[in-house]
Amino acid sequence: MAHSNHSSTFFFLTGLPGLEAVYVWLSIPLCIMYIASLAGNGLILWVVKSESSLHQPMYYFLSMLAVTDLGLSASTLPTMLTIYMMGIREVALDMCLAQLFFIHTFSIMESSVLLTMAFDRFVAISSPLRYGTILTNPRIASLGLAIVVRSIGLHIPAPIMLKKLPYCQKRQLSHSYCLHPDVMKLACTDTHINSAYGLFVVLSTLGVDSVLIVLSYALILHTVLSIASKTERLKALNTCVSHICSVLLFYTPMIGLSMIHRFGKWASPCSRVLLSYLHFLTPPVLNPVVYTIKTKQIRVKILRIFRSGGATIGDTQGH
């Protein structure tokens, strides 16, 4: 039975099934993850802004990645905390549509930034002498603007189309936040147009981006293999390790989640929820860690900050 009054339409979110008794305890590691994401990405942004030696294309793209990670964390945070801290699973239609818009928008932004970072690595390795003239500040700003316009523009129609659908009495979502395919399944009408549009957006963004990232690394590998010195080859490949880790962190859970949604009717609800957490929650937490460990300039700057902070505390106690 359809429900036509959208003002009173609510959906019910899903936490980890079977663990309802310990949701309050599970909220502790979740809060730690959100705090770690905020602190890590905020620190990356502050270090890049304050250190003039990091005012280079690679670090500008890293800042873009940090901003999208912060946006992704902020998009999932409201419903995650209400489920696990307060036990509230109900979410209004308008809030649900706003959340899915921001989640999908920041996901596409992250994919787009990872693609631009792959291009950055290709230019740095294949044309190091022209690196600064190819990736100028105006071009980087244009790429950033294109990423924002592309991500927002492609996702504006989705919530508008979903808003017009009538929804059935059964409104149980499969995740702890609202996602386009999940909400669309609850409509009591034909959703072929919505499904086709969703597929178009996924293929034209995540699909195209992933293919171009693979192509970029194929070209990088071809360039690296043409370098005579083994030491120089390893040095060139080492500059790509952080980016490869970020790509794997983002795309691997997403591919697994897509496979389960389409072919894994046998999969347990718990595995779907866990994979979605891996996809949306872990990259914002681990990306700053990966780049801090693997990028010497950032690591040195952060260590310098902590050492100067420790010295300041010691001097204060001494007085």
Residue with structure tokens 């105006």?
A: 138
Task: Answer left, alpha or beta for residue 27, where phi above 0 means left and psi between -120 and 50 means alpha.
Answer: alpha
- Among 28-32, 149-153, 209-213, 275-279, the range scoring the smallest mean pLDDT is 275-279
The whole-angstrom separation of Cα 250 and Cα 109 is 12
Q: CA nearest 277: which of 77, 63, 106, 65? A: 77
Cβ-Cβ contacts under 8 Å for 87 (sequence gap 6 or more) = 23
- The alpha carbon dihedral of 53, 55, 61, 63 has a sign of positive
The whole-angstrom separation of Cα 30 and Cα 273 is 14
The whole-angstrom separation of Cα 176 and Cα 13 is 5
Q: Bridge-partner residues for 2, per DSSP? A: 168
- The amino acid at residue 304 is R
- Looking at residue 267, what is its pLDDT? 67
- Looking at residue 135, what is its pLDDT? 92
The encoded tokens of residue 318 equal 């001494």
- The enclosing H or E element of 130 equals none
Per-residue pLDDT at 285 exceeds 60? yes
Mean predicted lDDT score pLDDT of the chain: 86
**For the chain, what's the residue count?**
319
**What pLDDT, in 10s, does the model give residues 214-261?**
999 999 999 888 887 888 888 888 888 889 999 999 998 888 777 776
Cβ-Cβ contacts under 8 Å for 147 (sequence gap 6 or more) = 64, 109, 112, 113, 116
**With b meaning 16 or more CB within 10 Å and e meaning fewer, what string describes 127-156?**
eeeebeeebeeeebeebbeebeebbeebbe
Q: Domains of the chain (ranges plus CATH)?
A: 10-296 (1.20.1070.10)
